[in-house]
Every structure is written in C-alpha cells, then in structure tokens.
Amino acid sequence: METMIDKYPSRVDGEACLLPRLDPVVHGNKPGQLSRAELSAFESNGYIVIRDLLNEREINMLQHECERLRRSERIRQSELAVTEPTSGETRSIFAVQTVSDVFAGLVRHKNILSAVRQLLGGDVYLHQTRANLKPGFRGKEFYWHSDFETWHAEDGMPSMRAVSCSIALTDNYEFNGPLMLVPGSHMYFAQCLGRTPDGHYLKSLKKQEYGVPSDAQLEWMVKEHGIDVPKLQAGSMVIFDCNTMHGSNSNITPYPRTNIFAVYNSIENTLQEPFAAEAARPWFLGNREPEILEPADFSEIGNAMPALPA
C-alpha cells in the first residue's frame, strides 16, 4: 500500500495549531432526502437536526432493545461494552448492529442513508456504531473532541468524508447532559498535543487525555462561533460532520439520555494505516472490512417484531 500524505498531522510535540480544513463539507450534489436549505445549513454549521425520524412505536422498540442490551451480562463483560469507572454499569455498547437485528435495521433506515449518501456523495459503509446509555443521577461528561481527529490519528481515516448520526431515544433537555456542538468548528483541524500511548483506546473510552483540543483552541472557536445545544425530542436525529467539535456535560438529573450513534464513511475514504499511532484500534472502533450499505424499510422491520410487553 502506498504511503498516504498526512493532510492533518496531530499528536504533535510543542505547539498545537488550528489548521484549515482541506476537504469539502458536502461531497457531490445529487438530490436526496435533504433540501437545499438543509445542505447549506450543514455546510455552514457542521450539523443539522432531522425531526421526527422515528415514530413512537419505533422509539419504544429501540428503547426496549437498549434496555435488553444494557442488562445483558454477556455484553457487559464483552469488549463491546464501556462501563462506568465507579459503578461498573454499562455506559456504551459498540457495534450494536452486530448484536441486535433491530439496530442492524435502524442503521440502514432509508431516510438516514439517503441523507448520508447525499452529504458524502455516493456509497457509504459503517465506520463505527454505538449505543450511549447516559444514566440519570451519575452520568459523566464527555469532554470536547473532534471525532475525526481520533479516527485519523488512531484509525487511519485519510480525509474528512464521514458523518455521525446521533439518534435520540430520550428527550434531550437543557439539563440532562445534552449534546453541545461548536457550529463552524468543522472548518478547522485542531491539532492535538502528545504522542499516542500504546493501547490508548482502552483508557480513552472512559476518560480521554490525548486527542483533546487545547483550552486556547476551544476558547478561540467558541468566541468565534458560540455553542449550540439543539433541543432534541426522542425520535429526532442530529447529523454532524466528522470534524465538528462536540461534547456534553455531566447529568445529575433523574432523566437518562440515551442515543444511538452511527458513523458513516464514504467508500472512497476507507481506513489506511493510523497516521499517529503504532497499531490500529480494534474492529468495533474502526471498521476495516467495509460493506456498502443498502437501504431498508425500518418500519417493516419493526412490524415483524413480536409484540412488546406493556
């Protein structure tokens, strides 16, 4: 395999800079699920909100599925689960489409795929998926980060041609640790300081120390662009660019915050060798066996499910 040029050097020594983005934000211009206005908002802000992606029946079904996975001792002890440092409870589950037919259907939802294909300009595959079960009372914060920085440095994703879909299964209130985004931050690449330690992902999923922006970088971006906290009702979705700076505060309220997170990458942007780490991360964090996704009718999958207990 020929060596790729590193457009976005990170995990550097000395000075961490804000570099300009060298890739388009919207790739291609085919029609699809998203309107001109939505494409243009995505281009400026680095994210858009899609309301009412799922109906109440579908939301209930997915919540039920999350609860099943959360309670599974087999999953809790598997490599797919991230557990709370103190309580040991399951906080995130990776590669959810591999352990659940319902989630396997959701990630191929035809409306999601149509929007994602439009943004990324053609065929896409799953880079990573995750169920985030941010509990009430003791939900921890996620510090600010650009997903792309980690995917580039530790997984070898060459270009910014991927998007994350965060599908809300519970209402996001202002007070239960909602997703915060810095609109416009996707136009800069915030270099991060420090060489990546071996096996970094084992720690970073619980508490990130490398691959986080500096106070000065964040301060500048927030001063320039502010912070958006989209109000999300259960069943709606945020699509955000792989390089949009985002994070969330802790959640001491009794309201849990559950979302499904699916990362779509262009089939023309498959993973190379990591740009700033010794070894690539495992398959459930950065998929190296791309399969082009075909859309599915999610409501039909829901109808085929057995009735849920009341």
Which CB atom, from 174 or from 294, has the smaller least distance to its own copies? 174
DSSP characters over 122-149: S-EEEEEEEEEEE-SSSBPPEEEE-HHH
Shortest distance (Å) from residue 142 CB to its own copies: 8
Contact by Cβ (8 Å): 146, 244: yes
Shortest distance (Å) from residue 250 CB to its own copies: 4
| Token pair listed for 16 | 């961490």
Which CB atom, from 177 or from 235, has the smaller least distance to its own copies? 177
CA separation for the pair 208, 143 (Å, rounded) = 7
Shortest distance (Å) from residue 175 CB to its own copies: 6
Shortest distance (Å) from residue 304 CB to its own copies: 35
Shortest distance (Å) from residue 213 CB to its own copies: 10
Shortest distance (Å) from residue 171 CB to its own copies: 13
Q: Any idea which residue has 């939505």 for tokens?
A: 38
Is 181 in a helix, a strand, or coil?
A: strand
Which CB atom, from 147 or from 155, has the smaller least distance to its own copies? 147
Which CB atom, from 220 or from 283, has the smaller least distance to its own copies? 220
Is 97 in a helix, a strand, or coil?
A: helix
Shortest distance (Å) from residue 87 CB to its own copies: 12
Q: Given the DSSP bridges, would you call strands 162-168 and 237-241 parallel, antiparallel or unpaired?
A: antiparallel
| Distance set, CA 44 to CA 39, 76, 90, 240 (Å) | 9, 39, 36, 11
The phi, psi pair for 129, rounded to 5°, reads -135, 160
Which CB atom, from 83 or from 250, has the smaller least distance to its own copies? 250
DSSP characters over 274-299: -SSSSSPPPTTTS-SS------B-HH
The 3-state DSSP composition of the chain as helix, strand, coil percent (nearest 5) reads 30, 20, 50
Which CB atom, from 159 or from 170, has the smaller least distance to its own copies? 170
Shortest distance (Å) from residue 249 CB to its own copies: 5
Which CB atom, from 255 or from 283, has the smaller least distance to its own copies? 255
Shortest distance (Å) from residue 15 CB to its own copies: 19
Q: Which of 157, 146, 142, 102 is nearest to 268 (CA)?
A: 157
Which CB atom, from 6 or from 141, has the smaller least distance to its own copies? 141
Nearby residues of 310 by Cβ (< 8 Å), 6 or more positions away: none
Q: Which residues bind its own copies (CB under 8 A)?
A: 136-137, 141, 143-144, 173-175, 177, 180, 215, 218-219, 222-223, 227, 229, 247-255
DSSP designation for 308 = P
Q: Any idea which residue has 């899609």 for tokens?
A: 50
Which CB atom, from 105 or from 135, has the smaller least distance to its own copies? 135
